[in-house]
Each structure stands twice: as C-alpha cells, then as structure tokens.
Amino acid sequence: MKLSLQKRILIFSLVVLTLTIAGNTWFSVDSFRRSYRDGVLRRCETLAGGLSRQVKVVLDLGLSLKEINGLSEKCQAVVENDPEIAYCLIEDDSGSLLYHSNPPYPRMLHAEFVENFSDQVNLIDTGSLGPVYDLAVPLYDFDDDLAGRVRIGFRNAVLDQLALEHLYQALVVLGGAFAAMFALILFFARRDLVAPIRKLCDMAEEISAGNFQAQQPLMRSRELNVLGDALEGMARSLRERDAEIKRNCKELEEANYELQTSYERLESISSELGRSREMYRSLLDEASDAILVCDEDDMIIMANKSAEAFFGLTRMHIEKMNYFSFLETLSCGDVEKQFGRYQTVRPGASADTELRFVRPADRKALIGWAVMSAIVGRDRKRLVQIIIRDATSEEETRHNLERATRELERLNQMKNTFLGLASHELKTPLTIIMGYLELLSSEFSDQLDEHAQDMVKQITNASERLAEIVRDMLDVSMLDSKTIDLVSQVVDPNDLVRRAADKVKSGLELRKQTIHLELSESLPMIRCDVDRMLQAIGNLVGNAIKFTPDGGMISLRTRLVERPRLPERFSQESEGRLCQVAEGLFPYVEIAIADQGIGIAEEDQDTIFEKFYEIGDVEEHSSGKVAFRSRGAGLGLTIVKGVVAIHGGAVWVESPGHDQETMPGSTFFVQLPVTESAPEQMAEQE
C-alpha cells in the first residue's frame, strides 16, 4: 500500500529529527563523560603526584618503603577528601600491597585488564568494585631503583551515573524542541504543500476524465503555480488534439484497410521466403559435416567449408563437377554402386551409405557416412542434399575394441585354463602328502617326539587349508566350464540355515561371537543340491565371522518374497541355454546373512563376486579360517554366485559403506525359487 505525501513528509521529518536528536544527545553525553573522566584523572594524577613526592623525600633519606609510617592515614585522607576516588594504595616493586585506604579496595593480582589509556592509566575489572580507572605512579628510592607504586582509582560506575543524569536532562530539553519543531513542520506541510497538491490532483483527474475545460486553482507557492499553469496548458493542448484526432480518424480507417490488404500480400511472400530460408539453413557453411547439393543433372552446385577440408579439394574444384566424376576423383570404391544409390533418392525419402575413399591431398584413406535426401526447388526440379559425416575414427575405434575384446577373451580363457590345470595338478601331490601325514599321525606317532608330532600337526592343518583352496579352484573351474554335477533334493530352507549355522559353531566360540536365527515359519520347500547350497551359505556365514569384530553378532533371516522369474542357467531347450522369462511374480525364499563388520564400499559391492577379487594386499592374507579381516584366495563369493545362479536364484550384497571405526556391517541376500507347491502354501499363509 502506497503512503500519502503527507504521511511521507511526516515520517521523513520524524526520522530526521529523531536521528538528529539521538546523534546530538549521544555526542553530548559522550563528550560530557570523556571530559568528566579526564578531569577526575587529572585530580588523581595531582593527588598521586603529591603523595609520591612526599614518599620520595623519605626514600631519599635511605629508608625502605616498608619502614615509612603513616602512609595508610595519608591514603585514607586522599579518599575522604575526594568522594569520587574509590581507593588509594601503595604497593612495593613486586606488586604486594603495603598501605591502603579503608576497604573496599581491589586485589590487583586478581584484577582483569580491560583497556589501556596511557602509560599510567588502565581500565581494569576488579570484581568487587566493578570496572575501575586505575592510575599507577612509580616510586623510586635514592638509587633511582623502582621501590613501589602509588595507585589511585575511581569507579566507572560514577561516570555512568553522571552520564545518565546528563542524558535525562538533554532528553527533556531536546524532547520539547522536537515536539515544537514537529508541530511546525506538520502545520506548514498541510497548509502550503499537501492541500495545494490535492487541488492540482483534482484538476488532473478532471482532465483525465475528459473535462478539458478545468480551471486552475489559486496557488500560494510559485512552483505549484507553475505546475498549475502547465496543467491548464496541457488541457488546452488536449482540446486541440482531440479535435484533430476526430478529423484524422476517418483517414486512419481508410489507411487500415490498405494496410490489411498489404499484410495479406506480405504473408504470401513470407511463406515463400520461409521455404528458401529452411533450404539455405541446412546448407550453412559452418556445419561440422561435409554438405554437397546436386541438381537434377547430377552436377554439384554447392559445397560448404567442411567439404573442402574433408575431401581435400577446393570449393571451386568441387562445384560444377559431376557427382560420378567426383567419386572417381576420390578413388571411391564401387563407384557405380554409390552413384546408383544416389540416383534412387526421391523427394520425401532419404538414403544412407558408406563412402570409402582416398583423399587426394595426403593420400589418406577415409570413411564417410553419407545421408542423402531430395527436395523440390522453386522451379520444380529435384535437388539432392548429401551430408557426409567423418566415420574414420569410429571405424578405428571399433577395430580397436574388437581386438581388445578378442585379447580379453583369450586372457580369460588362459586364466580359466590355468585355474583348472593348477587345481588338478595340485590335487594329486596334495593327496599323497595328506596320506603320508595321516600315516605318520596314526602308525608312527609312537616313534615321533612331541616336537615332531607338533610339526606334523601344523603340516596337516596347512595341507587341509590347501586342500580347501584346491577344492574351491576345482569348483570354480567346473562352474566356468558348466560341468558341475548336482544332486537335486527337496529340502526345507530353514533346515539348510540351521545346518550351516551348526558348522560354524567352533569359529563363533573362538571369536566369542553370537549367531541369531530369525526364521520364518511354514516356508515352502526348495529344490537344490543340499551339499552345494550348504557350501554357499557356509561361505557367506564364514565371511561374516571373519569381518565382524570379536564379540559381535551375526543374524540369519529367512522369509518368502515374490519377484519376476529369473532366467535359469544351463537350460538345454532354449537358445543360448537360457530359459524364457515368464510374466508375473513368482515365490522365492530369501535368506539374509547380516553382520556387524567393517562393511563394503559401494564401488566394490558389484565386484566382490569376481574370481580372485579378494586377493588384494598379500600382507592381509591369513591361513586362519576365522581370523579377523583374514583373506583367502578370493574364490568363496565366486562359488556362492555360481551355485546360486545354477539353481535359478540371485545373490547380492547391501552395505552403507566401508568404515573400520563405526562398523556399519553388511547384509548378503540369497533368493532361491520354491517348488511348484509354493503358491498353495502362500495362499494358506494368507
């Protein structure tokens, strides 16, 4: 809402007067306070100087400051003679208090420095007296050594009280002046400014309403009288223009009819220009692709700058050349086929083709992807636009990717071959070693001393660990080659989880960890190879034990979920050995293994199931099965993924991230399809 002029003037006057009075009051009070403070400080300097001179006379006689009598009475006299002085003290050179006036007086050792005014005057906060201006005058003995100090101080509260009284007096005087000034401003503003302006506004409203005979009101101010004359002149001018407008109105109507006719003709011309503009816009010289335009006689009539650079020929050379001759000049492969493709292009359709040619300038072999489209010119003749994009680098990139893919496939095959070969080659000598170790432990144990038996036990443990690694390598090799044998059985998933938990009891006891089973009742049966599924779940539980600190807890949960059917691996009936995915949702048993461990970084959650991914830092590897953060060969999760996938299931991990301080933990999920009787069981549960 806009304020009236009168209110604006009053507000402005109020603000100006308020700021002026406030500023004047502040400066007056501040000046009075400073002057009074300086006067008290000068009195303090005079009193302290007189007292120090009296003490100096005694000190020059050879007496020490502590041996002088009557100084406390002199200090008390100073305070009693000047009521604004709070205390008078005499201290030695170490700051210890020797003589003083009656309490209260500050403890200098406990005072807090606030501000420094000069070498002798400081503002300190004494606690008991509040802020105090303290004047310190040094005392020197007959050897001009510092013997002590005379301290005289007065409270800052005295200045505040006097300044407040001065402020009240100033406010009373200035408040009266403010009221009188404001009343005068209000009177003159309403009589000499607001009222005349309102009369002029009324005159302007009459003029705006169409009354051009409005009379100027009498104005006291010369400036407002000039404004009234201007309004009267404007009304007179408007009367004359109104008559002229009426005379010209008919002429404007006739001119409007002629303009409308001209506008229709311009629209027709604009439509034709639009077609020409669209054609030339597609042939801009600054286009990044090479552009050629051929006429109905197959002559190149236009080429852009990119065409010059791409083909290595000047625009003058390219233009006016037959398109067939142009292809021959570039040594283009299969010229007849390319030219025939060009001739088949008709308006409303487009064609594309690959051009392989040799640039004449540097004899470099290039590849271009040409898109040809035909349009009809104003003379109803066919024009063919050819846009050629440089595809040489794309072709080189494709060849490089193909070579890299072949090399990766070869390396992957070599890795799988090495994995299978190594596992088979290690299995035979390892079997012999373990057989001899069993023979030493059973048949020849009485011939071995205690130290030798301990070494045989350590070798046996290491051999068993190596045997596990070899078995994992064989399993991974069979999963890669799809030669693993499965024994299909119908089993209760909760029973699988319990059996997997029982197998790791020794590791849990060793690490003082607990395992919590949260198994859903009445789960449907699943069909799987029990040993392989126990191996997969056991690997996940073993990882949870290794990466959870001592005393932690591991949770195993089961539940029934629905999700779209996963493609089952190793199907013999479908192309690519994959089953078709049916529509709708199907029941799955979900097994979740949650730990309280160090967690897994987000960028690693998709790659931990790859072979040997866990190898990482060799120094972190450990032969222990359940040692904290111990690492193995990095095949456990690969086996889990392969076993679950071969059963038509899915496995993944969820974790907030990796942090060895907060231990965010990880949760591995395994989903396995249920048997055909599962839907009925789900209906019963509902």
pLDDT tens track for 351-366? 888 888 888 878 888 8
Query: Facing residues of 561 across strands?
Result: 588
Indicate if the pLDDT at residue 681 is higher than 50: no
What are the tens digits of pLDDT across the range 542-569?
889 988 998 899 999 999 998 887 654 4
Angle, alpha carbons 650-656-659 (nearest 5°): 125
The residue ranking higher by pLDDT, 285 or 135, is: 135
Q: DSSP secondary-structure letter at 100?
A: E
Amino acid at residue number 195: A
Neighbours of 147 (CB within 10 A): 20
pLDDT band at residue 680 under the 50/70/90 scheme: very low
Q: In which residue are the tokens 């003083």 written?
A: 100
pLDDT at 504: 87
Three-class DSSP category at 306: helix
Task: Determine which of 28-42, 224-238, 469-483, 504-518 has the lowest per-residue pLDDT on average.
Answer: 469-483
Q: For position 588, what pLDDT does the model report?
A: 92
Lowest-confidence segment of 67-71, 329-333, 404-408, 444-448 by average pLDDT: 444-448
pLDDT digits 0-9 by tens, 225-242: 777 777 777 777 777 777
Write down the residue that tokens 């999700």 correspond to: 563
Yes or no: say if 481 and 416 are a contact pair by the CB < 8 Å rule.
yes
Planar angle of CA 482, 484, 486, nearest 5 degrees: 125
Q: How distant, in Å, are the alpha carbons of 80, 118, 130, 194 from that of 85?
A: 8, 19, 14, 59
Encoded amino acid at 529, one letter: D
User: Taking Cα atoms as reference points, which of 327, 329, 375, 314 lies closest to residue 354?
Assistant: 327
pLDDT tens digit sequence for 135-155? 888 888 887 788 888 888 888
Q: Which residues contact 202 (CB under 8 A, 6 or more apart)?
A: none
590-619 pLDDT, tens per residue? 999 999 888 988 888 778 877 666 544 544
Least confident span in 318-322, 509-513, 669-673: 318-322
Residue 192 DSSP class: I
Half-sphere exposure of 604 (CA within 13 A, CB side): 13
Q: What is the dihedral of CA 20, 26, 27, 33, to 10 degrees?
A: 160
Q: What pLDDT is recorded for position 618? A: 43
pLDDT of residue 686: 41
Are residues 459 and 623 in contact, defined by beta-carbon separation less than 8 angstroms?
no
Radius of gyration of the chain, Cα coordinates, nearest whole angstrom: 52
Is there a contact between 139 and 148 (Cβ–Cβ < 8 Å)? Answer: yes
For residue 557, what are the β-bridge partners?
518, 592
Distance CA 489, CA 494 (A): 15
Angle, in degrees to the nearest 10, between helices 195-208 and 222-281: 50
The yes-or-no verdict on residue 419 having pLDDT over 60 is no
How high is the mean pLDDT of the chain?
A: 77
**Which uninterrupted H or E stretch holds 213?**
none
Taking the CB of residue 541, how many other CB atoms lie within 10 A of it?
A: 23
Burial call 265-292: b when 16+ CB within 10 Å, e when fewer: eeeeeeeeeeeeeeeeeeeeeeeebbbb
Dist CA 220 CA 204 (whole Å): 18
Tens digits of residue pLDDT in 614-660: 544 544 545 555 566 655 666 778 888 888 888 889 999 999 888 88
- Measured CA to CA in angstroms, residue 81 lies from 136, 235, 411, 412, 574 at distances of 19, 85, 107, 106, 118
Residues 371, 569: Cα–Cα separation, whole Å? 43
Q: Is 675 exposed, middle or buried (0-12, 13-18, 19+ CB in 10 A)?
A: middle
Name, in order, each residue with C-beta under 8 angstroms of 579's C-beta and a sequence gap of 6 or more.
Answer: 567, 568, 571, 573
Tell me the average pLDDT across 269-281: 66
Mean pLDDT computed over 117-124: 80
More confident residue, 513 or 61: 513
